[in-house]
Amino acid sequence: MEDTDRRILRLLSEDGRMSFTDLGRATGLSTSAVHQRVKRLEQRGLITGYGAQVDHAAAGLPLTAFVSVRPIDPAAADDAPDRLAHLTEIESCWSVAGEESYILKVRVATPAVLEDLLARIRAAAGVSTRTTIVLSTPYEGRPVS
């Protein structure tokens, strides 16, 4: 990938609403050249979408936790993501190597809601869990370098 494309990716990851004109100024390209490059980056799958950054605390979900998931029966089908997909409190699900099979990022309103969610996760997927509560987030979603 060219340096200019990397710069465009970094700029858009910092501000997904940046105009083609502003991208052009920042990269030294014309607006139409930037538009063509962004379109190619989208077609190649390097840009997969655009979204808003949400202040979860202001949205009523101040508690973030990581929930490590391990099957109770290692011989059981590995279908935890499908069994958990209906739980909207789960923001992300990563398949991982190590003792756990998956790590879930969850956002909830209170510790009591988290406790209830953990019970629903265990029941829905037949798994054991280990939970880490986030105290603060110095940075997240850093731009591509």
Per-residue pLDDT tens over the stretch 75-85: 888 999 999 99
| DSSP-assigned beta bridge partners for residue 69 | 102, 129
65-76 residue pLDDT tens: 999 999 998 888
User: What is the pLDDT at residue 77?
Assistant: 85
Distance CA 42, CA 21 (A): 18
The first and second tokens of residue 76, run together, are: 């059981």
Neighbour-count burial of 62, counting CB atoms closer than 10 A to its CB (0-12 exposed, 13-18 middle, 19+ buried): middle
Q: What rounded mean pLDDT belongs to the chain?
A: 94
Three-state SS at 55: coil
35-40 own/partner pairs: CB under 8 Å, 24+ apart = 37/4, 37/5, 37/8, 38/8, 38/12
2-46 residue pLDDT tens: 899 999 999 999 889 999 999 999 999 999 999 999 999 999 999
- Does this model's pTM top 0.75? yes
